[in-house]
């Protein structure tokens, strides 16, 4: 079945560092891909999405490109802030309305 | 537009009891999904409803059930609670975007503790 694999955390960076969180997926067809973010004590917020190959999703300085050839959707940000500290989830949806989730990557940004 | 609301936010129950959680979707959204989040298992899909019909169900025992009302509000019920049911239960409402992709918006969750 479909699955999503994320790099394990926590990822600890200094403020203004470059961020990459790796995400790869397995799917039988052509899924849509998402990144969600969860701040402490809160629900999940949609960060960005991409619906077809080579699409780039972007929001709040975060970007991710749908790479079908490598089945990847890595999250990047050029300069992280302390306020970006959260757990980031990669997910896909294909056909049956059910989001398939990665395990989540905790990001810690130190001032 | 108001976001997804879930009630109650926190709940403490005893083993063997049952519980009902409520979710009000974003106005105009007809699809509601439920997820369970635990530190050990991560995010797991429970079920999804659209126009009062369950369209998809995850791999949970029959003790977990749900329903959707004509106003799209949804409830989930867990009977005969077990310690392992302690989790954050998240509700998401969704609609089709311009690419006909279901974009899911989440509520803050209900934190259920079973003692």
CA distances from residue A42 to A17, A39, A48, A91 in whole angstroms, order as listed: 25, 5, 18, 18
Q: For residues A51 and A94, what is the distance between their CA atoms, to the nearest angstrom?
A: 10
Average pLDDT over residues A52-68: 96
Lowest mean pLDDT, pick from A23-37, A75-89, B89-103: B89-103
When comparing pLDDT for B99 and B111, which is higher? B111
- Residue A96: pLDDT above 80? no
**Beta carbons of A99 and B45 less than 8 Å apart:** yes
- How many Cβ pairs within 8 Å bridge chains A and B? 56
User: What residue in A sits closest to B107 (Cα-Cα)?
Assistant: A43
Q: For residues A85 and B35, what is the distance between their CA atoms, to the nearest angstrom?
A: 23
pLDDT digits over B30-72, tens only?
A: 899 999 999 888 999 999 999 899 988 999 999 999 999 999 9
């Amino acid at each position: 079945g479909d699955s999503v694999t994320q790099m394990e955390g926590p990822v600890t960076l200094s403020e203004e560092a470059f961020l990459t969180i790796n995400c790869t997926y397995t799917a039988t067809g052509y899924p849509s891909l998402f990144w969600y973010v969860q701040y402490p004590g809160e629900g999940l917020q949609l960060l960005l999405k991409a619906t077809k190959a080579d699409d780039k999703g972007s929001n709040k300085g975060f970007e991710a490109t749908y790479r079908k050839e490598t089945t990847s959707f890595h999250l990047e940000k050029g300069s992280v802030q302390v306020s970006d500290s959260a757990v980031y989830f990669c997910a896909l949806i294909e056909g049956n309305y059910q989001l398939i989730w990665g395990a989540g990557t905790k990001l810690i940004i130190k001032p | 537009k108001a976001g997804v609301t879930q009630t109650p936010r926190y709940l403490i129950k005893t083993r063997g009891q049952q519980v009902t959680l409520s979710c009000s979707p974003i106005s105009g959204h007809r699809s509601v999904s439920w997820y369970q989040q635990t530190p050990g298992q991560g995010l797991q899909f429970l079920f999804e409803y659209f126009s009062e019909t369950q369209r998809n169900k995850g791999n949970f025992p029959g003790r977990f059930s749900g329903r959707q009302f004509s106003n799209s509000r949804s409830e989930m019920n867990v009977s005969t609670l077990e310690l392992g049911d302690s989790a954050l239960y998240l509700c998401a409402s969704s609609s089709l975007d311009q690419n006909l992709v279901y974009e899911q918006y989440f509520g803050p969750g209900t934190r259920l503790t079973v003692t």
